[in-house]
Amino acid sequence: MTHSFHPTVLREYDIRGVIGKTLNAADYRAVGSAFGTMVKGKGGRQVVVGYDGRLSSVELEAALVEGLASTGLEVVRVGLGPTPMLYFAQKHLDADAGVMVTGSHNPPDYNGIKMVVRGGPVYGDQILEIGRIAAAGTLAKGEGRVSNVDLQDLYVERMLRDYDGPRDLTVVWDNGNGAAGEILRRLTRKLPGKHILLFDDIDGHFPNHHPDPTIPDNLVALQAKVAETKADMGIAFDGDADRIGAIDGNGRIIPGDMLVAIYAIDVLPRHPGGVVIADVKTSKTVFDAIAKLGGTPLMWKTGHSLIKAKMAETKSPLAGEMSGHIFFADRWYGFDDALYCGLRLVAQVSRSGGTLAALRDTFPSTVSTPEVRFQIDETRKFAVIDEVMARLRQSGADVNDIDGARVTTADGWWLLRASNTQDVLVARAESGDEAGLERLKAQIVDQLKASGLAEPSFTDSAHH
């Protein structure tokens, strides 16, 4: 049986679409049989499956399991929970692969799939390969076994094993009605200190706010609760809890890249000279901090799958992205887990004897733009970046081309890159002062105009 997917759903890092429009149960069945065929072809026998709290996830998980079982694989269902619990299950059971039904932080009518194999994340050409296998219809056949296993307590116990905070703190946790609710309740029940939970019930309507901690509006309830309870800090998750957001006791948002620098204070003494990876959108202050702490900073491409692959290659103990995907290989498994990152942050602040605000303030302040996205025709997206690169090289600019163009000048740096997941270009700039930032923004605008594009609007700069 052959199957073709909507052209928009097979993406660089995962599969994602709008339920009933670009993605449906038949697609999940087809992913199951095609991915199962791929796993079987590599000698695999066992795959674990989990799903998030979206309204469509129960039905889609059932179709996925059906597809996987039709290839003769042993399918272990770990049930409703966050994406990192599925990653944990794959590691703990030493399964050949793992599949998560999740729409991550997308709107309620979206859903998707994230996949791992024993060697690491499934992304890029491997995702396109699933499409090719489904289209060819040459599928493995067999009588698969399906079983259910509850790993929730085991997962919580394993996280708690790494908690070593001597001092009790008050922490507010915002689950945003996402998939981590039950795990968060079990985890905080056993953590020392006082823990206040917001929106911990799992609800695919997301009635309180959108589950994306990178958008400041989504942190307003958390900031209010931290102020009201005089809490030491606040921690937020995205819809499937593989991304973390954090605010300090003063209510300031700590960006994802700044968290990498804070965690490096804790991790690098155990890994002198260790490689710490951060994505191309990351503040220069973070790379400087890693070097100052005795680590080896490495700037890499944006994308959780790409960072995980680079971590394995460089044996990096810590990595992170501005988007809040943070990866601990120090005492953990190297995957992005916001629950575990939250636990490590609480422990680190507790041990520091001070506050999260004080840890944040050990690094210099800069002014920066947020991540500015603007629409561009999909066919022009990468071509514009090539044109910009050619002009920059001709002018002798100091440019890093690891993922788009990141240009360093006396004023600071600016970035222009093509998104792998949307028809947008992404821009960002950072400087020591407002005047410098304006000059950097002008350079971005000049480059876009030179490629025949309209001027992007930069919203107000943010202090980093």
Q: What is the CATH number of the domain that holds 438?
A: 3.30.310.50
Among 183, 197, 174, 209, which Cα is nearest to 84's? 183
Q: Give how far the C-alpha of residue 355 lies from the chain's centroid of Cα atoms, to the nearest Å.
A: 25
pLDDT of residue 459: 63
Q: Which of 360, 387, 407 is the last residue of a domain?
A: 360
| Sole residue written with tokens 């116990």 | 157
pLDDT of residue 457: 77
How many CB atoms are located within 10 Å of the residue 447 CB? 22
Residues annotated as part of the active site: 104
**pLDDT over threshold 60, residue 460:** no
Mean pLDDT of the chain: 96
Task: Provide the whole-model pTM.
Answer: 0.96
Q: Mean pLDDT, to the nearest integer, of 84-94? A: 98
Which pair of tokens denotes residue 238?
A: 């995205």
* DSSP E strand boundaries for 330-380: 367-368, 372-375
Higher confidence at residue 373 or residue 317?
Answer: 317
Same domain, yes or no: 334 and 422: no
Same domain, yes or no: 92 and 199: no
The 3-state secondary structure of 390-458 reads HHHHHHCCEEECCCCEEEEECCEEEEEEECCCCCEEEEEEEECCHHHHHHHHHHHHHHHHHCCCCCCCC
Distance CA 168, CA 127 (A): 45
Same domain, yes or no: 239 and 387: no
* Residue 164 falls inside a structural domain: yes
Distance CA 37, CA 133 (A): 8
Distance CA 274, CA 363 (A): 20
* Residue 276 falls inside a structural domain: yes
Q: Which of 317, 343, 360 is the last residue of a domain?
A: 360
CA dihedral 212, 213, 218, 223 (to 10 degrees): 160
pLDDT of residue 461: 53
pLDDT of residue 234: 98
* Residue 2 falls inside a structural domain: no
Distance CA 170, CA 121 (A): 35
* Residue 36 falls inside a structural domain: yes
* Residue 43 falls inside a structural domain: yes
Confidence of residue 346 (pLDDT cuts 50, 70, 90): very high
Same domain, yes or no: 270 and 324: yes
* Residue 264 falls inside a structural domain: yes
Q: Which domain holds residue 171?
A: 154-360
pLDDT of residue 360: 97
Domains contained in the chain, number: 3
- Using one digit for the tens of pLDDT, what is the confidence trace for 240-263? 999 999 999 999 999 999 999 999
Within 8 A by CB and 6+ apart from 296, the residues are: 273, 274, 275, 276, 290
Confidence of residue 432 (pLDDT cuts 50, 70, 90): very high
Q: Please tell me what DSSP assigns to residue 218.
A: G
